[in-house]
Amino acid sequence: MNAESGIRLAPVNGISALSHLFPAQKEQHINCYSLNLLLFSVCGVHFGVDAGQVSEIAVYAGEQAEDLFWFHEELEYGAAAAAVTYLSPTVVTIRTGRVQSYRVVIDSMEDIADFSQNDICLFPALLEPFTLQNGLWGILPRDGRMVLLVDFKRLLMHRHPELR
């Protein structure tokens, strides 16, 4: 269990390699929310999810299950979906507050780190109607890249009302 994020690491071979990703230091921000983000990428697009929404992380071992979804399918990669490949697929289990679990296969986990709300930008008004309904709620500019912040609970509500 990671003390800061509350994520339980599944006892799967190789998962201990993820331990170096957890931050050693935590920035303090006064009068400002901070967000513990799990950062990953799928097919070159960078994402961040509130680590508080994730209850478990495990290496994907090739299983198929009704409650297991691939991230690029959940986010409607559209025509780009045909070219999506996962280099190091990882299963994250999302806290839904329900009996039925919601598990999503993500790729290329990079880091889990704290960020200030001041680091987060809104989506331009023109894009927000499209992004919000797919769980994308903010942007974290980082190292010259744009990390898209995804709220798995919003995504779940939009994609799987049956799991709500």
Task: Choose which of 11, 62, 97, 124 interacts with other proteins (CB under 8 A).
Answer: 124
Q: Counting contacts by CB under 8 A, is residue 139 touching other proteins?
A: yes
Rank residues 58 and 155 by Cβ distance to other proteins and give the closer one. Answer: 155
Task: Give the Cα separation of 115 and 105 in Å (integer).
Answer: 24
Q: Counting contacts by CB under 8 A, is residue 39 touching other proteins?
A: no
Q: Counting contacts by CB under 8 A, is residue 122 touching other proteins?
A: yes
Instruction: Let me know: does 44 contact 145? Beta carbons within 8 Å.
Output: no
Q: Counting contacts by CB under 8 A, is residue 134 touching other proteins?
A: yes
Q: Counting contacts by CB under 8 A, is residue 121 touching other proteins?
A: yes
- Helix residue ranges, H only, the chain: 71-74, 128-132, 152-159
Instruction: Let me know: does 94 contact 153? Beta carbons within 8 Å.
Output: yes
Per CB under 8 A, contacts with other proteins among 52-91 are: 72, 75-78, 80
For residue 75, which of 43, 99, 98, 115 has the smallest C-alpha distance?
A: 43
The stretch near other proteins (CB under 8 A) out of 15-23, 25-33, 95-103, 122-130 is 122-130
Task: Give the Cα separation of 62 and 105 in Å (integer).
Answer: 10
Task: Choose which of 61, 125, 143, 161 interacts with other proteins (CB under 8 A).
Answer: 125
Give the 3-state secondary structure of residue 144. Answer: coil
Residues at the site binding other proteins, with contacts judged by CB under 8 A: 45, 72, 75-78, 80, 121-127, 130-131, 133-134, 136, 139, 141, 145-146, 148
